Structure 1
Amino acid sequence: MKKYRLFALGAICSAAAIVAACGGGDSDDDVAQPVDPVDPPVVIPADQPREVRTTWFGISNFHYQAGDFGFILDGEVVNSGRAPTPAAVTKVLGALSKKGSVDAFLVGHEHGDHALQIPEYAKQTGKPIYAPRAVCEDVVAYGNPASQCTSLKGGETFEFSPYVTVRVVRWLHSLSCGVSGNGSAGVETFGFLITARTPEKVVSIYASDSGAGGQELFIPRVVNKGTASEENYPSPFDNLMTAFKAAGIPNIDLWQGGPESRVVNQARIIVPAFGVKYFAPHHLGTRNTLVDGQSVGFSLEYGLHFPYLESEVPLLTAYLKSVGTTAFNPDNYFDAWSLTANGFTTVDNAEVKAVYGLPATGPGPGKQGPNPRAGQLECAGD
């Protein structure tokens, strides 16, 4: 339908009296003229995220900020001992607050290099935790209320804000070279499909903080096999596909895949099935390495003590390049990126890094040594 607009013929002529009072007649200038439709301006809510800012701070630790809502995956900041370290938790919360907020926590599995600090995070923030049952038990034993921690089963959907949704995917723990899965080995492990509705499109991240590949992704999962409490679940691949379809997205933009070995087997399945555009490896720095004859381990203040080298994962590197998936490999703790409708890009995070004495870009301040698992990141037959 055409829209019409009256053109003013003089400051003293009202729209209703144009013809009578302003010499109306036969001139085409005196009549309403058709114009093209005028679309109303698009109003973007102030709280709608324009991006998902994602920060890696060691192992499988990620902080996500989407608009006003921020949350952490795993968050281990010490990787030693048997009890949480309150001062280390306070420090990282203060650092992350310089670029966002911490309003919730996700935990992929119960191992100490992923979940040891979670009870202390719960205590210091009072924010909700979404984690495997064993982690929730630790949260409560530490003195936090049971209502603060939601035990995961897989298949849950959490609406973190009007724009941010997390879907829980029952996954599986990683397998070493020469080991095949049977669907029941390993601790309860979860991945998370994160979607954020920006003004231009829904952007998506799949974070899998552990995992095997190949045939294991297609084996149904069994918990407490052979006991009265046995529970049966679909395969990891089916679980991810269910979450993917429920999200209604055309592809997964970013896959934060791990852990530190055999990722190529996962990539050959996940990347084509879900149209992954970008890949970010993680789970680096957990094991000690020798630097000038001295053992150096995980320390955020030291910096990443060995580099991630594509030459140590030649099969993965070649495969990603062959399908056009771009890898974003971290150089140091607290590297940060921005996911928008226009892509995935590195962003400055110098202010946060400064809290730990890390350089604005690149590795350091500590000297790097070789990856202690060099030669083991891909196996014969992968």
Structure 2
Amino acid sequence: MLKKIAYSFLFLFLCAQSAFAASAVNPVELTWMSIANWYIKIGDTKIMMDAYITRVPGPPFFYAPKNLPEDPYAFTTKSYGVDTASIKKVKDAVLGKGALDYMMVGHSHFDHSWDAPMWSKLTGAKMIGGVSTCLQAEAQGVKTSQCQSVSGGEKIALNDNTDVYVVRFNHSGNNKNPIQHFARELYQPPTPDAKGQYRAGVGEDYPNGGGNRAYLFVVNTDKGKVSFFINSSASAYDLDKDIIVDGVNYGSPIEDLKMAMKAAGLDKVDVWIGAGGKPVAELVVPVLHPKVYIPHHWDGLFNSFWKGIPYPYKDNDLADYLKREAIELIPQKQYFDSYSLSATGTHLTANHSVKAKLGFHDEQKFSATMLNSIKHMASTTAGDDCGETVIRPSILSIILALNLFIK
């Protein structure tokens, strides 16, 4: 009898261990793919964020209206298409024959949502984004049931171990570039031209979509809970002011972030993947209290994807602030650098196999002239995530124009 009881307990113990092993999550993998593009792997769940691989041309393809010279991405000279071949190449290198579960989008500007519908169509991934993002997807043949529209305040279970809290955030810029900065929505799917192409301007088919959608992830791993927050854009100009769209008040981004942290039961996060520089950090850090800061959206909008990082990351003001706050700064050295996030910390890895498939060096190589020039610069991050402050030529743009970058 005792032997039977012992075997029964052993059987239950082994079943419990097996169930735990099946649901346990290994370290979260966060892979940067340029701009605000991320591949996130949480256990068996695979997520893309933005995944903008196509490169829509820069000015003069984009131009500002005469009365708003600091709104340089308002309009375009013609429509443009999606680089499906490049998307497929990245998909094959990153996912192989595996599936993609979610295609999440920060906001509806071209450098965030342009390729998202194609990713969804190629992989069957469910899209998550604002109403404008879903309308853009609908126009490109994604079923309405395949795109979940979020406004902020939602809690979404991505798998048994992962919840994501949607935070209504703002966009970079200020009242000098109102078409780009202030919250604007689409009200119907945009209409393509005869070639099936769209107008990429922020005053055309790609407004910001009523402001940015930021995401707070909470993951139960086999070694404990980890959390990270991603905002693909932000501006200190009105981060603490209410976002009002069509008469609906969505509250201020900072207050919305506080509510998300409270709902998640957090008083700090392991990682903040952010944009906006020191001015934004001074407002967000007192809410997030992150252990690690990972920058993104600092590498420009129009540089060739296939040449890799166009210049090294540098932001002295932000770095000094983070140091004073005892927050570790871990910038990227190349596209497809990967971060391993676990309860024991965050570590940068080279992700060699994926880079090799795509023709990237593990670490980007730069000319001595570029490196020497950057020594005399305080920042290479273009002021904020969309470069509104760098309309005029800078030392960095001159260096790039002279093609002193080497592969």
TM-score after normalising by structure 1: 0.76
CA distance in 2, matches of 1:99, 1:93: 9
Relative distance call for 1:117 and 1:287 in structure 2 (3 A) is closer
Distance 2:381 2:182 in 1: 28
SS in 2 for 1:280: strand
Which aligned pairs between 1:116-195 and structure 2 lie closer than 5 A? 116-175=114-173, 184-185=182-183, 187=208, 188=210, 189-195=212-218
- 1:47 is displaced (CA, Å) by 3.5
Select which of 355, 358, 361 maps to 1:356: 358
2:67 alignment counterpart: none
Q: Give the superposition deviation at 1:360.
A: 2.2
Counterpart-to-counterpart distance in 2, 1:239 and 1:129? 22
Letter in structure 2 aligned against 1:83 = G
Is the 8 Å Cα contact of residues 169 and 243 (structure 1) preserved in structure 2?
A: yes
Instruction: Pick the aligned partner of 1:223 from 245, 252, 257.
Output: 245
Residues 285 and 137 from structure 1, CA distance in 2 versus in 1: closer, same or farther, beyond 3 angstroms?
same
**Cα distance in structure 2, aligned partners of 1:64 and 1:375:** 24
1:106–1:130 Cα contact (<8 Å) kept: yes
Equivalent in the alignment of 1:255: 272
- 5 Å-filtered alignment, 1:15-164, equals 43=17, 44-80=20-56, 82-97=80-95, 102-164=100-162
Segment drifting more, 94-103 vs 232-241: 94-103
Name the Cα RMSD after superposition: 3.0
Deviation at 1:241, TM superposition (A): 1.1
Q: In structure 1, what is the equivalent of residue 193 of structure 2?
A: none
Moved more, 356-365 or 315-324: 356-365
For 1:199 and 1:282, the matched residues in 2 are separated by 28
SS in 2 for 1:170: strand
Aligned-partner Cα distance in 2 for 1:343–1:177: 40
Identify which of 232, 249, 263 aligns with 1:209.
232
Q: Is the 8 A contact 1:358 1:364 kept in 2?
A: no
Matched residue, 2:317 = 315
Offset of 1:50 from its aligned partner?
2.0
CA distance in 2, matches of 1:105, 1:200: 27
Gaps of 5+ in 2: 3-12, 58-79, 185-207, 390-407
Among 299, 304, 311, the alignment partner of 1:298 is: 304
Q: Distance in 2 between matches of 1:152 and 1:375?
A: 29
Superimposed CA distance per residue, residues 174-224 of structure 1 (whole angstroms, 9 cap, x where no aligned partner): 01597899x95563211000111012321111000000126x221111013
Aligned letter for 2:240? F
Q: What amino acid sits opposite 1:332 in the alignment?
A: Q
Pairing 1:285–2:299 present:
yes
Q: Which of the pair has more CA radius of gyration?
A: 1
For 1:272, the equivalent position in structure 2 comes to 286
Given that 2:168 and 2:213 are in contact with CA atoms closer than 8 Å, whether structure 1 keeps it comes out as: yes
* Equivalent position to 2:341, from 334, 339, 342: 339
- Bigger drift between 94-103 and 337-346 goes to 94-103
Q: Distance in 2 between matches of 1:287 and 1:322?
A: 30
Paired letter, 1:353:
K
Provide the identity percentage.
28
Q: Deviation at 1:145?
A: 1.0
SS at match of 2:128: strand
What secondary structure sits across from 2:229 in the alignment?
strand
Secondary structure of 2:228 counterpart: strand
How many angstroms apart in 2 are the aligned matches of 1:151 and 1:328?
32
